Amino acid sequence: MDRSVALKQILKKLSAIGELSTEERAEVATLLGTMRRVEKRRDIVQDGSSPNHSTLLVEGLACRYKLLANGERQILSFNVPGDIVDLYSFVLRKMDHAILSLSNCVICEIPHESIKKVAATHAHLLKLLWRDTLVDSSVFRTWMINNSRRLGEARAAHLFCEVYTKLQSVGLAEDDGFGLPISQVDLGDCLGMTPVHVNRVMKQLKDDGLLTMNKGYVRILDWKKLVAFASFDPGYLQLTEEAEAAVR
């Protein structure tokens, strides 16, 4: 597997939330360790584990999730290529949730020892990595509001706006939509809905001329109308002006 692809993805992600100098770009390359493939529907990181590395998602789609005592699942956020899905494991003693591959994925390990060296010598790069974890916190807060205070159609619309914006900011979405290889059960676990409710919501979004979802592809029919309907403000993703402007 070509590590240059991993480097390209992490640089795109970090550049979308801040500026990187030539020296810092070279330093990011030293962070990258072992690359491997993960089949879909496998845990990339297990709940309760204490990893000695953080994980960069290079290809595919993943999610953070938590299993309840009764076996029900709550998806906490989606991860797209360029995301370091568990950067906070560098400072936490153990993981309090798991990371699941929703599609076939390629990942790259970032040894905690490498992060430690960067932390000691490159203050601005450390700040960017810290900002990345704080964006994750913003996403968690936004999902909490979304799932508790918005009605079903607006709740789903907001989720699709977020995923599209994240993918567009790193050049992985088309002008008219994006790939999202998940089931209605997955969507329900994101949005706190039953599959039957999800089906009704998706039909309504289609009938309203906002978007369609078919065979793992979300086609956006009217972006401005979708943003207004969802009350979507991308500010919580902390994108640079250039990255935000890339979203149509």
68: left (phi over 0), alpha (psi -120 to 50) or beta: beta
Alpha helices (H) in 18-122, listed in sequence order: 22-31, 112-121
Give the mean model confidence (pLDDT) for residues 192-210. 97
Under DSSP, is residue 46 helix (H, G, I), strand (E, B) or coil? coil
Instruction: Please state which CATH number belongs to domain 150-245.
Output: 1.10.10.10
Residue 198: name the closest of 208, 187, 206, 190 by CA.
187
Structure tokens at 77: 């956020």
Under DSSP, is residue 77 helix (H, G, I), strand (E, B) or coil? strand
CA 210: distance to chain centroid? 22
**pLDDT surpassing 90 at residue 243:** no
Give the mean model confidence (pLDDT) for residues 130-156. 95
**pLDDT surpassing 80 at residue 212:** yes
Amino acid present at 201: V
Percent of the chain with pLDDT over 90: 95
Per-residue pLDDT band for 151 (boundaries 50, 70, 90) equals very high
60: left (phi over 0), alpha (psi -120 to 50) or beta: left
**pLDDT given at position 158:** 98
CATH 1.10.10.10 occupies which residues in the chain? 150-245
**pLDDT surpassing 80 at residue 1:** no
Percent of the chain with pLDDT over 70: 100
On average, the pLDDT of the chain sits at 95
| 3-124 to CATH, choices 3.40.220.10, 2.60.120.10, 1.10.10.10, 3.50.40.10 | 2.60.120.10
**pLDDT surpassing 90 at residue 244:** no
| DSSP character string of 77-100 | EEE-TT-BTTGGGGTSSS-SSEEE
Kindly give, in sequence order, each residue whose CB lies less than 8 Å from that of residue 207, ignoring residues fewer than 6 positions away. none
Amino acid present at 107: I
**pLDDT surpassing 90 at residue 134:** yes
Tens of pLDDT along 175-199?
999 999 999 999 999 999 999 999 9
Residue 102: name the closest of 128, 77, 126 by CA.
77
In the block, which residue shows the tokens 């979300």?
A: 218
Give the whole-angstrom CA distance, residue 31 versus residue 112.
9
Kindly give, in sequence order, each residue whose CB lies less than 8 Å from that of residue 227, ignoring residues fewer than 6 positions away. 161
Given a contact cutoff of 8 angstroms between Cβ atoms, the answer to whether 218 and 225 are in contact is: no
CATH 2.60.120.10 occupies which residues in the chain? 3-124
DSSP 8-state class, residue 84: B
Tens of pLDDT along 87-105?
999 999 999 999 999 999 9
In the block, which residue shows the tokens 């490159």?
A: 122
Tens of pLDDT along 62-94?
999 999 999 999 999 999 999 999 999 999 999
Give the whole-angstrom CA distance, residue 247 versus residue 167.
9
Structure tokens at 81: 């290529």
Per-residue pLDDT band for 59 (boundaries 50, 70, 90) equals very high
Kindly give, in sequence order, each residue whose CB lies less than 8 Å from that of residue 147, ignoring residues fewer than 6 positions away. 155, 191, 192
**pLDDT given at position 246:** 79
